[in-house]
Amino acid sequence: MNAAFPYSWHPDPLPRSAAARGWLQNRGSLTRLIQQRCRGDFHVRPVFQSLGVACEDERDVMRLRRNELALIREVYLYCGETPVVFAHSVVARRDLRGAWCRLHGLGSRSLGTVLFSNPVIERTPLRFRKLTAAHPLFHRACRELVVRPSGLWARRSLFALRGQSILVTEVFLPAILGLTS
């Protein structure tokens, strides 16, 4: 691990649990899968959407300069009254007038619904990481949790449309493992 870049993301998930690996490796719409498992008791709760500075490990992926602004959107995906995923997306400010201009109006709609309904959008391979208190997204993901775990598995990938990208990170909260088919 590079000391200047301590937040490495890996091409393969490493959790011991087969159930956790199943959630992490699924390349389909996470929103759709959770909706099926929640049997209609699904909703999205936006908690943050504003221009801001991306996390250090996101800037390189998004080709953002150190203080360059990007639109950051954070939501929780709920099954009933229980948060099961914390989703964090980043799109460069310069791309808000182009391919991703409609992101401002999503509100409580799922970004995944938009991304997976357009066959022209391309997705890069998934990357994985176990987030700990050393990563800024860990603290944001834990805001809705009664008990803070020592780590949370996350995955991320870029979605591209007309040469413009959005980086989507999905942090899997402990209750996700309670959702069965």
Residue 3 domain flag: no
In terms of DSSP bridges, do strands 164-172 and 152-161 run parallel, antiparallel, or are they unpaired? antiparallel
CA distance 58 to 162: 20
- Predicted confidence (pLDDT) per residue in 132-172, tens digit: 999 999 999 999 999 999 999 999 999 988 888 999 999 99
Nearest to 171 by CA among 157, 154, 156: 154
Residue with tokens 């803070």: 148
- Our count of domains for the chain comes to 1
CA distance 11 to 172: 17
Residue 87 domain flag: yes
Residue 9 domain flag: no
**Predicted pLDDT at 147:** 93
Q: What is the mean pLDDT of the chain?
A: 87
CA distance 82 to 98: 35
Residue 142 domain flag: yes
User: Residue 24 pLDDT > 60, yes or no?
Assistant: yes
User: Residue 6 pLDDT > 70, yes or no?
Assistant: no
**Predicted pLDDT at 90:** 95
The fraction of the chain above a pLDDT of 90, given in percent, is 61
- Predicted confidence (pLDDT) per residue in 80-114, tens digit: 999 999 999 999 998 888 767 777 667 777 777 77
The fraction of the chain above a pLDDT of 70, given in percent, is 93
Helix (H) or strand (E) holding 34: helix 30-38
Residue 4 domain flag: no
Contacts of 10 (CB under 8 A, 6+ apart): 127, 128, 129
Q: What range does the domain containing 111 cover?
A: 18-178
Residues belonging to the chain: 181
CATH number at residue 90: 3.40.1410.10
Residue 6 domain flag: no
Entry pTM: 0.90
Residue 5 domain flag: no
Residue 13 domain flag: no
